[in-house]
Amino acid sequence: MKKKLHIQTLLEILCYLAFAALLLYLCFSGGYKMYVTARMLPYFYFMIAVLVIWSLSSLGRLFRPGYKSRSAHILVLLLPILHFFLPHDLILQSNFALQENISASASSGEILPADQAAADLPPSNFYLPLSGLDEEEKFIFVTDEEFGAWYTELTANGEAYDGYTIRIKGFIFKSPDFMKENEFMISRLLMTCCVADVAPGGIISVYENSPSLAAGDWYTLEGRLQMEKRTGYFVPRILVEKLETAEPVDGYAYP
Amino acid sequence: MKRPIYIITGFLDSGKTSLLNEILPKRAGRSPLVLQFESGEEDLVCQEPPIPCLKFRKRELEEASSDLAERIAKAFAEHRPQEVWIEYNGMALFSQLYTILSSLPSFGGEYRVEKVIHTADYPLFMQTFGKTGAAPLEQLANADIVLAGNIKSEEEEKRLRRIAQSFDSNIRVFRREEKDALFQELFRQKSSLSSRLLLSGIGLAAVFLLFSKLLEDTSGKLNTVINVFLGITLQAFPFLLIGVLLSSLIQVFVSKATIERIFPKNLGTGILTAIFAGFFLPVCDCASIPIFRSLVRKGVPLPAAVAFMTATPVINPVVMLSTYYAFNGNLRVVFGRVILGILSAIAIGLLFYFFPARQTERFSQIADLSLCSCGCYDGSEESEGFRGKLFVFLRHSQIEFFNVGKYLLIGAMVTAILQTSLSRSFAATNAGGLAASVLLLMLMAFLLSLCSSSDAMIARGLAGRFPMPAIMGFLVFGPMMDVKNVILLSGYFSKKFILRLITVCAAVCFVTVFLFSKFLTGV
């Protein structure tokens, strides 16, 4: 008598391992950043561990005789894997209405302007120390990687940087909803939790020639940070002094 | 061509022997062999020409299966039957029989199990089903055909079909009277597993290629849908996994008696205990639903369990921290969210106490049973002791993951499509009074199905355009109920119950938020 492989168990084990491999690949290649933030990493490692334990514990059933073999349920793991292999790319800025009133946009997330946070009790910073801070020269150089971290820091602790000169790169985002004629937001697409909440976010910048700037174009700007009281809260503003076109940055920023 | 083995399973007195008595005369020419594992009221009429028939007692089945296998092997060798008919014992596990059969030297090569027929006497079936241990469930789950006796109406037939197909959608159900159809199905060649897998593989590949073609242009909305779907799935799976593991832990390791002993019977303390437990479980809504189901099954009173389910995703430490962080340390928002969450959960629990749901309303009982029949008991002889329980726990969590996972995927897909197609204009228009904006944001939270650990960030984005009570409605109602949760719940509970849950949660959240709006905007 030859031992017969139980197909259902085999398929299940293959799916566990395939999903674990996908997660492992996403963790190590940094590919996860396209879908979720780094905060998910420990959870991914946990899931990989469980999937491997599941596979190992199923090995014993691999040759246990069973009359029926089901297979439809493995789609639960298979479908996300297949979706991953479908061609897809980062969500583009152009998906968010850039010049129109944002209320008309069909965006998937909410716009996060730095000035609408109710910032009356500054928390300790989650990202310190941040590079690019020169306290003697009162200068902040925001690297592409730290856009999100500086966004958070300036929103929360803006007072500490009043009068600093800041150099920051992003795209132009305009919304008549909460910006004046001579203002734009120097923005990146921010991912707070997962790609479902990606939305443009940044710091409002004041610039005379603002109306001539095309929304969605990338610039590096330099200007002075000024805290301004709006709707009862102090929020950061950049008074733009220098503006130069820049190459677009791939990927999202993570506040 | 392999020689077929036909197995008839079913409860005592469900008509197994009489079915055999109808079939065997027609099969006499194929020199059948009969194996009987049950002796009911009706006797097998092994008439002219006499059909060889071996009888076994249930005890033998349990005690010495190798001995039993030898006797069967000998009978096979002696009679060289062209087909074998087995009448199985109604209270024995199907897997026991299948294991014995697969240990026969001629199994797989010469013989194979062709069809499994499960007989059911409708009134008896409805009376005993799910109350007589694992074996009948497992037998039904392994059947190809269900033969139903004493069915009085279309309604009853439909009901039985629904139960049977919840175990396996391929099960065919026939009435006892439909003999022609039964025989046709019985002797119809079934397609092999490999050909079915191949076909579905080809189908899947075709759909995949089609979508690959459609998605070549990654600037469209479809790209966003794929992104959001993957984002939500990757985000939710680990949490669902935590929920499923905890729920299986309760299922397998904690006995009903223990829960009854330690869980307070008193309504008030019961609800408070539930909320206290919710406070310490860092899980989001994907995890709280499977745990909720386990608690209800283990006898935790419904008001307390509902309070647990609605409170956990709102008030746990992870959510509090993310709210604190999103609102830049505004403690008023954090405490407002926690307090309103607790108050709503208590009110929802009380409503379920004063207007209790009928037992039948609650579970889609079928789904609950089928969960445990399609694998958990396949190695029941090993489920003794800690090691055995550990394996049952692992298996249970896998099955539950697949079971709930499919609803999560549907929820994620629906949410992804909703998120990409919903125009924000409905959210940006802040017309109408306070009540309108509270309702609007509650509706938005329901449709967007954000994870409760991330919704605070979105709420902050809305804070500029909406009054604080509306934001609170978003923060409190969203984690309790949303599209994804409703689809998840439908894996466990009946439509009626879910509808009731949604209505109660929505009403309570609205009233709580509205009543406390003074406190929120006042200070």
CA–CA separation, A134 and A165 (whole Å): 10
Give whichever of B374-378, B421-425, B466-470 has the largest mean pLDDT.
Answer: B466-470
Concatenated DSSP letters for B12-37? Answer: TTSSHHHHHHHHHHHHGGG-EEEEES
Which of A235-244, B55-64, B410-419, B423-432 shows the lowest mean pLDDT across its residues?
A: B423-432
- Of B116, B115, B114, B127, the residue nearest B160 (C-alpha): B127
- Of A250, A32, A38, A31, the residue nearest A144 (C-alpha): A250
CA–CA separation, A27 and B99 (whole Å): 42
Asked if B228 and A108 come within 8 Å (Cβ–Cβ), the reply is: yes
| Sole residue written with tokens 């089901």 | A70
Q: Nearest C-alpha of chain A: how many angstroms from B51?
A: 26
Q: Is A102 on the interface with B (CB under 8 A)?
A: yes
Peptide bond into B290 cis (omega under 30): no
Q: State residue A239 phi and psi, 5-degree precision.
A: -90, 105
- Of B31, B26, B25, the residue nearest B78 (C-alpha): B31
Provide mean pLDDT across the span B68-75.
88
A83 interaction partners in chain B (CB closer than 8 Å): 226, 229-230, 233
- Is 60 exceeded by the pLDDT of residue B424? no
Tokens matching residue B318: 């992870």
pLDDT at B239: 81
| Sole residue written with tokens 């008074």 | A239
Burial class (CB in 10 A: 0-12, 13-18, 19+), B265: exposed
3-state secondary structure B432-498: CCHHHHHHHHHHHHHHHCCCCCCHHHHHHHHCCCCCHHHHHHHHHHHHHCCHHHHHHHCCCECHHHH
CA–CA separation, B374 and B139 (whole Å): 10
Least CB–CB distance from A193: residue in B229, B330, B454: B454
Is-contact B90 B10, C-beta < 8 A? yes
- Is 50 exceeded by the pLDDT of residue B381? no
Asked if B234 and A32 come within 8 Å (Cβ–Cβ), the reply is: yes
Provide mean pLDDT across the span B2-17.
88
Tokens matching residue B426: 């409905």
For the entire predicted model, the pTM comes to: 0.80
Asked if B454 and A194 come within 8 Å (Cβ–Cβ), the reply is: yes
- Is 50 exceeded by the pLDDT of residue B272? yes
pLDDT at A115: 42
pLDDT at A233: 64
H/E segment holding residue B121:
strand B111-121
Q: What is the three-class DSSP state of A134?
A: strand
At B223, the pLDDT band (50, 70, 90 cuts) reads: confident
- Of B433, B117, B498, the residue nearest B293 (C-alpha): B498
At B364, the pLDDT band (50, 70, 90 cuts) reads: low
pLDDT at A2: 54
Burial class (CB in 10 A: 0-12, 13-18, 19+), B11: buried
Q: Residue A228's beta-bridge partner residues?
A: A235
CA–CA separation, A198 and A146 (whole Å): 17
Which of A18-27, B61-70, B202-211 shows the lowest mean pLDDT across its residues?
A: B61-70
B189 CB contacts (<8 Å, ≥6 apart)? none
Is-contact A152 A177, C-beta < 8 A? no
Asked if A71 and B200 come within 8 Å (Cβ–Cβ), the reply is: yes
CA distances from B435 to A149, B439, B440, B522 (A): 37, 6, 8, 17
In terms of CA atoms, which chain A residue is nearest residue B425?
A103
Q: Which amino acid is at B196?
A: R
- Of A69, A58, A63, A62, the residue nearest A3 (C-alpha): A63
Provide mean pLDDT across the span B400-406.
83
Give whichever of A66-70, A116-120, B2-6, B250-254 has the largest mean pLDDT.
Answer: B2-6
Q: State residue B97 phi and psi, 5-degree precision.
A: -65, -45
pLDDT at B457: 67
- Is 70 exceeded by the pLDDT of residue B380? no
Q: Nearest C-alpha of chain B: how many angstroms from A223?
A: 25
* CA angle (B407, B413, B418) in 5-degree steps: 125
Per-residue DSSP letter, A12: H
Q: Sign of the CA dihedral A31, A36, A39, A44?
A: negative
Average confidence score pLDDT of chain B: 81
pLDDT at A205: 92
| Sole residue written with tokens 């549907």 | B410
Asked if A111 and B212 come within 8 Å (Cβ–Cβ), the reply is: no
Asked if A102 and B428 come within 8 Å (Cβ–Cβ), the reply is: yes
pLDDT at B49: 65
Asked if A73 and B379 come within 8 Å (Cβ–Cβ), the reply is: no
Provide the CA B487 distance to its chain's centre, in angstroms. Answer: 12
Which of A70-74, B186-190, B246-250, B362-366 shows the lowest mean pLDDT across its residues?
A: B362-366
Above pLDDT 70, what percent of chain B?
86
pLDDT at A239: 93
Burial class (CB in 10 A: 0-12, 13-18, 19+), B357: middle
pLDDT at B520: 56
Tokens matching residue B97: 């029989």
- Is 90 exceeded by the pLDDT of residue B302? no
Q: Is residue A5 left, alpha or beta, with left meaning phi > 0 and alpha meaning psi from -120 to 50?
A: beta
Q: What would the pLDDT profile of B11-52 be if each residue is shown by its tens digit?
A: 888 888 888 888 888 887 888 888 988 776 677 766 656 788
Asked if B450 and A85 come within 8 Å (Cβ–Cβ), the reply is: no
Tokens matching residue B70: 């030898």
A64 CB contacts (<8 Å, ≥6 apart)? A6, A9, B99, B378, B379
Radius of gyration of chain B from its Cα atoms, rounded to whole angstroms: 28
Q: What is the three-class DSSP state of A26?
A: helix
Q: Which amino acid is at A48?
A: I
Query: How many CB atoms are located within 10 Å of the residue B298 CB?
Result: 18
Is-contact A195 B227, C-beta < 8 A? yes
Q: What would the pLDDT profile of A144-189 be if each residue is shown by its tens digit?
A: 988 988 888 887 788 888 889 999 999 998 877 678 888 899 999 9
Concatenated DSSP letters for B91-113? Answer: TS-HHHHHHHHHTSTTBTTTEEE
- Of B465, B416, B421, B473, the residue nearest B444 (C-alpha): B473
Sheet holding B32-36, edge to edge: B53-55, B32-36, B83-87, B3-10, B111-121, B145-149, B172-175
| Sole residue written with tokens 């049952």 | B392
Q: What would the pLDDT profile of B175-219 be if each residue is shown by its tens digit?
A: 888 888 888 888 887 777 788 889 999 999 999 999 888 877 766
Tokens matching residue B429: 């228009």
At B514, the pLDDT band (50, 70, 90 cuts) reads: confident
Asked if A57 and B391 come within 8 Å (Cβ–Cβ), the reply is: yes
Q: What is the three-class DSSP state of A248?
A: coil
Query: How many CB atoms are located within 10 Å of the residue B63 CB?
Result: 10
- Is 50 exceeded by the pLDDT of residue B427? no
B169 interaction partners in chain A (CB closer than 8 Å): 72
- Of A8, A10, A61, A54, the residue nearest B142 (C-alpha): A8
Contacts 24+ apart (CB under 8 A), A242-246: A243/A207, A243/A219, A244/A219, A244/A220, A245/A217, A245/A218, A245/A219, A245/A220, A246/A169, A246/A218, A246/A219, A246/A220
In terms of CA atoms, which chain B residue is nearest residue A200?
B461
Instruction: Decide the pairing of beta strands A165-173 and A218-230.
Output: antiparallel
At A100, the pLDDT band (50, 70, 90 cuts) reads: very low
Q: Is A68 on the interface with B (CB under 8 A)?
A: yes
Least CB–CB distance from B232: residue in A44, A103, A194: A194
CA distances from B522 to B512, B516, B519 (A): 16, 10, 5
CA–CA separation, A181 and B41 (whole Å): 92
At A16, the pLDDT band (50, 70, 90 cuts) reads: very high
| Sole residue written with tokens 């929020």 | A235
Provide mean pLDDT across the span B437-445.
87
